């Protein structure tokens, strides 16, 4: 049955594109018909840069759904929040266009990995945040955290926001980059694991090690094909 996971991060540059790519690669190697989607791409043109990275790491060429912009219906050249990047080009983002693109992909793929832009509170429109869109669509969330200073605060705030809105958090991925202090990273992981144990025990814990060259690690995502909600029930 067709399913979609939404991948977001605790802020920009936390590693969600890498995590999305690694998940797609692993699922592809398991024989799952998987495709990635980019909600909105800013600071790019023609084909979304993040989609190119997804395909490179997955080990496949650009797909027809990339070339016809099904996988990324909104691409803006100005590198800013989606609502501002759209405004700079004298247009706006229609969330229904994104939703219809996801539905089209769900009809042809077993799993869709939908990567957001920035964090959960990033505006898509002046009056619409990414988390609003996620709540309405009902996609389970894969949240990417990181080892940089401040990540505990950003991660817990993101988790609290999702729990308060009853958004299912399927997994929390701890990205070991930038790996500046292993002692701090270990403590951060313990804090986040305790929080999940006490507040969201159904959330899977995952770790993304440092990626070196073409040595792409497996994140351990076999649970995704068994526990994802049925989109026919969700919509």
210 closest CA partner among 154, 147, 158, 163: 147
DSSP designation for 24? H
Q: Is 148 a catalytic residue?
A: no
Q: Two tokens at 131? A: 């988390």
CA angle 183, 213, 29 (to 5 degrees): 100
| Selected catalytic residue, list 3, 16, 38, 148 | 38
Q: Two tokens at 70? A: 């099904």
C-alpha distances out from residue 192 to 40, 138, 201, Å:
29, 24, 11
C-alpha distances out from residue 3 to 114, 128, 194, Å:
10, 24, 29
Which residues does residue 76 pair with via DSSP β-bridges, in sequence order? 42
DSSP designation for 165? T
Separation CA 139–CA 170 (nearest Å): 9
Which residues does residue 207 pair with via DSSP β-bridges, in sequence order? 174
Separation CA 235–CA 138 (nearest Å): 8
- Tokens 């989606």 appear where? 82
Separation CA 85–CA 72 (nearest Å): 15
Q: Two tokens at 101? A: 């693109």
Q: Any idea which residues carry the catalytic annotation?
A: 38
């Amino acid at each position: 049955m067709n399913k979609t996971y939404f991948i977001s991060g605790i802020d920009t540059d936390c590693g969600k594109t890498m995590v999305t790519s690694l998940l797609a690669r692993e699922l592809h190697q398991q024989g799952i018909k998987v495709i990635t989607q980019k909600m909105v791409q800013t600071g790019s043109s023609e084909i979304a840069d993040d989609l190119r990275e997804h395909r490179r790491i997955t080990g496949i060429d650009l797909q027809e759904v990339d070339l016809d912009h099904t996988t990324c219906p909104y691409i803006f050249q100005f590198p800013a929040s989606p609502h501002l990047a759209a405004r700079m080009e004298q247009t706006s983002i229609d969330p229904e266009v994104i939703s219809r693109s996801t539905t089209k992909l769900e009809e042809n793929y077993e799993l869709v990995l939908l990567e957001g832009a920035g964090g959960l509170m990033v505006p898509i429109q002046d009056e619409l945040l990414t988390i609003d869109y996620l709540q309405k669509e009902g996609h389970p969330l894969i949240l990417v955290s990181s080892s940089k200073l401040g990540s505990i605060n950003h991660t817990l705030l993101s988790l609290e926001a999702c729990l308060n809105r009853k958004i299912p958090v399927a997994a929390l991925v701890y990205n070991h980059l930038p790996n500046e202090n292993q002692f701090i990273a270990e403590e951060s992981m313990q804090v986040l694991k305790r929080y999940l144990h006490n507040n969201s025990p159904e959330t899977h814990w995952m770790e993304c090690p440092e990626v070196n060259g073409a040595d792409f690690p497996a994140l351990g995502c076999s649970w995704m094909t068994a526990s994802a909600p049925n989109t026919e029930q969700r919509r």
